[in-house]
Amino acid sequence: LGLELGHQDSLRVLEQLGAIDSTLALFVGLNNVLGIRPILQSAQPELKKRLLPQLAAGRELAAFALTEPGADSHPFGITSKAIPTTGGWTLQGKKIWSGSAAWAGVMNVFVKQHDAAGNPVGISGFVLQKGTPGLRPDALTMAPIPMVQNTVFLEQVPVKASQLLGAPGAGMAVAQDAMMYGRLAIAAASIGGMKRCAQLMLRYSSRRTLSTGRLLDSPVTLARLSWLTSAIATLSSLVTFIAQRLDRGLFVPDELYATCKILGPEFYWQAADDFGQCLGGQGHIETNLAPQILRDARVLRIFEGPTESLTMYLGARVLHQPTVLRDFLTELNLAALADSLFEAADEVFAYYQSAQSPFSDEITARHQANFIVGKVAAWGLAIAALKSVSVPSAQVASSNLEWAQHHFEQTVAQILTANPSEGASAVTVAEQIVYYQTSIGESEQTLARTDKTLDEWLQPASYAPSDLSTQPAENHLTQASSSTGRGLQNKSLLKRKNTIEQWLIQWLAQRLHIKQAQIEVNKALADYGMDSVMAVELAQDLEDFLTLSQSLDVTLAWSFPTVKALSHHLAGLSGPHLLDTQQRRSGESTQNVSTPEETDLADLSEAEMADMLAAELAAVRGR
């Protein structure tokens, strides 16, 4: 019942919708990408047969619910749960920013699945239909754009295996697939919006006369329009390149999808701002379109991953998982570009790890290195797309390639230029801002709307600037205090726990380029810079180290958020063979492993002692 469009044609539709109204493009993209795509790709056959005809015909809308108040752009931090019951599970939790949820007849919901013992086993996706008991979307509009954004309450919602998206515990792969394609769709819509801005700027500037002549003849206006046409061509090449590969069934690395979302909304936002500036005072009048375009462009920089988070993600992939991207560029006969990109990445990383780094804290320096490398990589991949897509005019193609190459080189050149904004501590910045109270006080504003409550994080704070010197880990630890579980009760388990703990310390020290003595076993892994890329690496390396038959879920780093909690959990999974395996690998006696004495049990807390029994039982079940 659908139109059976290919990827290129589907993205052209979204581009056209973006030129007409970005909100309309978002609405259609949300329904077809985040709503229908997970069902089409991963739902159970019977569910597909029942739902897809209605969705394809437009008789039902589909929504997507992943984001939560405490997770935001960090999906692995979700706390909504799937608790096992007889014949299925019950869902409990709260989702926010679910587009069109109140209007949708079908909703894809992602929660953290737990086993019968209450231990998390991964993130699972479920398809819910309107009217399901316990499913309650809050229909308040939560954005200034005319598309409803809902809070969704999951209150003991019953679900069965037939409603699963993919395998149990593998829902994040389904969600990531939809979100990656969603980032491509947003880039396509951004192209349409940018082209509309260019049309309107040309229309206005060619008619507006100033004391110096036509606005169009101003060098500032011409430079902005020239920038915009190059940005449009670059982003169009990127989207076309990906769409062509998808239509041919070829591999597209995640880095390209991230680049779409990084460059597309940022280009569109700059175009919208330049359009408003071109109009001058007329740009503040609602009927002149500029205010609407500004609002619509602004939200795209946040939806489906904020620019900053995705830039850090892209940089982390380039620095720590370079093989896939390097091989991809080499297959495109772009080995020279790959060399330039990875040489620049190494240069950035070396700078932020050196004595010249503006950051004294290694973790902060690492985050900044990821961010800068991500910016460099985005331009590098834009160049790759420009070189891979043919255009009618060789002269225009050369000009656009020169433009992108300039931005790539400019970004690299800025690396070694001192930036006075870098290196400032949270305490220093907070002291300056707190002092503003002496001149402007603390102002409170509310809107005349149904929801008048100011976000609690925007309300006046009672803390002192010194409170911001470190990020507290308690919020991470409390969540896992009852599931650090896997406590240890005998010498064998204690030895395994100690071996794993030491391995984790060594792994973190190596990845973060810090001394092992700086790793605290009770400190949250997130405070050491654990991100989604590192979490995947950690899970993969742990599987090899522990020689496990089953795969480890990448959410481990958040379900068990400290070295101590994670080692407790893994000790119960690994079994007695771990020590023998490590002895064979190292050629050393396990007596060399520092092992707590039986009297160390007295040092454990009551919660840990209570968890010991669960770990012992888990080990018995494993045998």
pLDDT tens for residues 30-84?
Answer: 999 999 999 999 999 999 999 999 999 999 999 999 999 877 667 777 899 999 9
Residue 162 has pLDDT above 60, yes or no: yes
Q: How far out from the chain centre does Cα 261 lie?
A: 11
Confidence band for 559, pLDDT divided at 50, 70 and 90: confident
What's the CA gap between 335 and 251, in Å, rounded?
18
Q: What is the amino acid identity at position 441?
A: G
> Which is more confident, 300 or 305?
300
- Of 125, 142, 171, the last residue of a domain is 171
- Using the predicted structure, report yes or no on whether residue 594 has a pLDDT greater than 50: no
Strand partners for 81: 92, 112
Determine if the pTM surpasses 0.75. Answer: yes
The domain in which residue 60 lies consists of 7-171
Q: Are strands 120-129 and 164-165 parallel, antiparallel or unpaired?
A: antiparallel
Q: What is the CATH number of the domain that holds 143?
A: 2.40.110.10
pLDDT for the residue 485: 42
Contact 315, 379 (CB under 8 A): no
Domain co-membership, 157 together with 46: yes
3-state helix, strand and coil shares in percent for the chain, rounded to the nearest 5? 60, 10, 30
Instruction: Assess whether 146 and 55 both reside in one domain.
Output: yes
Question: Could you tell me how far CA 90 lies from the centroid of its own chain?
Answer: 27
Q: How many domains does the chain have?
A: 3
539 falls in which pLDDT band (50, 70, 90)?
Answer: confident
Q: Residues 330, 331, 337, 342: is their CA dihedral positive or negative?
A: negative
Sign of CA dihedral 327, 329, 334, 339: negative
Dihedral sign (CA 31, 35, 38, 43) = negative
CATH code, domain with 521: 1.10.1200.10
Residue 49 shares a structural domain with residue 163 = yes
Q: 402, 418, 434 — which closes off a domain? A: 418
Both 156 and 26 in one domain: the answer is yes
Nearest of 599, 600, 580 to residue 590 by alpha carbon: 580
Report yes or no: 245 and 257 within 8 Å, Cβ to Cβ: no
pLDDT of residue 275: 97
Residue 477 lies in a domain: no
Q: Is the pLDDT of residue 155 over 70?
A: yes
pLDDT tens for residues 114-150? 888 888 888 999 999 999 999 987 655 444 455 678 8
* Judgement on whether residues 23 and 116 belong to the same structural domain of the protein: yes
How far is the C-alpha of 416 from the C-alpha of 1, rounded, in Å? Answer: 56
Tell me, yes or no, whether 23 and 125 share the same domain.
yes
CA 139 to chain centre: 26
DSSP string spanning 400-463?
Answer: HHHHHHHHHHHHHHGGGS--TTTT--HHHHHHHHHTTHHHH-------SSS--PPPGGGSPP--
CA distances 74 to 78, 79, 176, 309, 596, Å, are: 8, 11, 12, 9, 36
Place of tokens 């013992």: 117
* Mean pLDDT (the chain, rounded): 84
User: Are 44 and 163 members of one domain?
Assistant: yes
Return the pLDDT at 474: 42
For the chain, state the CA radius of gyration: 26
Q: Which amino acid is at 318?
A: V
What pLDDT score was predicted for residue 147? 66
Domain boundary among 572, 590, 614: 572
Confidence of residue 159 (pLDDT cuts 50, 70, 90): very high
pLDDT at 496 over 70: yes
Q: Is residue 452 part of a domain?
A: no
> In which region does residue 303 sit, left (phi positive, over 0), alpha (psi from -120 to 50) or beta (all else)?
beta
Same domain, 498 and 410: no
Residue with more model confidence, 403 or 361: 403
**Measured between alpha carbons, how far is 379 from 371 in angstroms, rounded to an integer?**
13
Q: For residue 11, how many other CB atoms are within 10 A of its CB?
A: 24
